[in-house]
Structure 1
Amino acid sequence: MASSSTPSVRDHASGRLKRAASTLAEDTQSLVSEIKKAFTMVKNIAVDLEREKESTKVKELETLAVQLSESCDNCIRHASAIHTVGNEYQPTSELTDFKKLLDEQFMKLKAMPSQNDRLIRQFQEAVWNVHHKGQPMPGEEEEDIVMTSTQSNLLNVKCPLSGKMITDLAEPVRSMDCKHIYEKEAVIAYLPRNGNKKQCCIAGCPKFLQAHRLVCDPFLLTEIDELRSMNQQTEQAQNVEDFTGLDDED
């Protein structure tokens, strides 16, 4: 009797941990959003001060912007670490050192490319463009501007099953194994109901998909928001170019 109840108890504990981790990760999203709002406000104030040629105050705000971007990065990493540990943890008869598990996962995430550089780049570009719009920043060539402004950590921009842009997905999920992004409803329908795995739909990807390893991790929503923002900026720039082209024709 005891042996048959043990798996049930473990499953219950694992389920509770997953739900708690998911809740904590979701709560962090609102904090990240507030930090980004503060960052945007600091950036806008710096632009105004740059117009007034208050360079010392602009430098002070840049220091604050760096601190905010680092805080944002760390919040996302901690949330992602909690989310990953919650999803991957399997209870055993031994006591678990959750702090160690979280610290290890956090350090793995810290070794990954940071979003911090992109935020600081946005700040510096906004300030630079006040008096030097259209000119490369010091130490950069025109190609560097294109590369920096269009880079993204996302491996695919469309769900290979639904064909929708990931910026339009109501419930995006990402494979914990290959990091490709899918629309949740489409990928769940694609996977076998018996829980077996199926190969990723991205051409050339050797990894397999499993329902329990498809998650909406904290990084994903932030990265999609950033891609959406980059797309809007690109569209605005193209509209300006088109408008200028019409003027030239006249």
Structure 2
Amino acid sequence: MALTSRTHGVTGRIRTATSNLHEDNQSLISDIGKAFSLMKEIAVDFETAKQFERVKELENAVVELVDTYEDCSHFSSAIESVGVIYQPGPELTDFDKLFKNEVAQLKANSSSVPQNHPLMRQFREGVWLDNAKSKHNELKVRHAGEPLPGEEQEDIIMTSNQSTILNVTCPLSGKPVIELEHPVRSIICKHVYDKGAITQYLRGNITRCPVAACPAKLQLDKVKHDPLLAAEIDDLRKMQNQGVMTDVMDVTEFEE
């Protein structure tokens, strides 16, 4: 009985410690997101001023930032995983080995190349597009009819402004995404919800994403606080304040 109590006590302390470390690291990832947004804004100013060498310098810096972001993400996920899988055994646990194994597994399962990372696409789109309206209330594209750099062979032409936020309102609470106090995002379908609303929704044994026509099956542990979400919501807020139309859906109504 005493041994069982001690075992549970150790497990609880390890989980608390890893949870605290995970939260600290999430804050760091969030700061990386803010730095990325600032660098993108500066790059847009340089592009407008035709200081293309400066834009390239910033793009190279963003590649390094993306690398750091990936490392921090793997570190954060490994910390969380260690807290979940840890079970005391007869021998002392080699936490260094356990942690390194988790990081190695995460990196092996990640196929992300910095140049193809979603953040890099956001950066290039931000530089390529002019978030100003013409007198006809249409977007002006600095490089109208031209593909994004590096995508010439893919025939991807930028003709409108895009947001990385897929829905402008939470389908459950009806609140605008830019007003959510605790926004979370599905790692499966990438839709954004109010944390309290989606938690209550999923506890009701409903697993389908509440966004109309979205076929994704959700799990509570797959709907998480996304460290970069705050920066993306801030970008969306700026677009809306500028009166720029974005390619996001109003999904307040959802199917039962």
TM-score past 0.5 threshold: yes
2:142 corresponding residue in structure 1: 132
Local SS of the residue matching 2:65: helix
Q: Deviations over 1:19-50 (max 9, x none)?
A: 11111111112212222222222222222222
Report sequence identity in percent: 29
**What is the root-mean-square deviation in Å for CA atoms of aligned residues?**
4.3
Instruction: Say yes or no: does 1:40 pair with 2:37.
Output: yes
Is the deviation greater in 9-18 or in 132-141?
132-141
Q: Is the contact made by 2:11 and 2:87 (CA closer than 8 Å) also made in structure 1? A: yes
Q: Is the contact made by 1:173 and 1:184 (CA closer than 8 Å) also made in structure 2? A: no
1:222 corresponding residue in structure 2: 227
Return the alpha-carbon distance in structure 2 between the equivalents of residues 103 and 124 of structure 1: 34
Q: Which amino acid aligns with 1:48?
A: D
Structure with a larger share of its residues in helix: 1
Q: Aligned pair in 2 of structure 1 residues 41, 206: CA closer, same or farther (>3 Å)?
A: closer
Give the one of 124, 141, 144 matched to 2:155: 141
Local SS of the residue matching 2:32: helix
Q: Aligned pair in 2 of structure 1 residues 74, 169: CA closer, same or farther (>3 Å)?
A: same
Q: Is the contact made by 1:18 and 1:86 (CA closer than 8 Å) also made in structure 2? A: yes
Q: Deviations over 1:191-248 (max 9, x none)?
A: 6xxxxxx977238989988xxxx4876xx422644674686688765379xxxxxxxx
Task: Report deviation, 1:114.
Answer: 4.3
Paired residues for 1:87-126 under 5 Å: 87-110=84-107, 111-112=109-110, 114=112, 117-126=117-126
Give the one of 8, 13, 18 matched to 2:10: 13
> TM-score, normalization: structure 2?
0.62
Q: Is the contact made by 2:208 and 2:218 (CA closer than 8 Å) also made in structure 1? A: no
Local SS of the residue matching 1:91: coil
2:50 corresponding residue in structure 1: 53
Paired residues for 1:51-200 under 5 Å: 51-110=48-107, 111-112=109-110, 114=112, 117-129=117-129, 132-135=142-145, 136-138=147-149, 139=152, 140-142=154-156, 168=180, 170=182, 183=195
Q: Which runs of 5+ in 2 are unaligned?
A: 131-140, 188-192, 210-214, 248-256
Return the alpha-carbon distance in structure 2 between the equivalents of residues 233 and 134 of structure 1: 22
Q: Which amino acid aligns with 2:110?
A: M
Q: Which amino acid aligns with 2:60?
A: T
Q: Deviations over 1:159-179 (max 9, x none)?
A: 8xx67789658485989xxxx
Q: How many residues align?
A: 215
Local SS of the residue matching 1:238: coil
Q: Is the contact made by 1:73 and 1:115 (CA closer than 8 Å) also made in structure 2? A: no
Q: Which runs of 5+ in 1 are unaligned?
A: 176-180, 192-197, 241-250
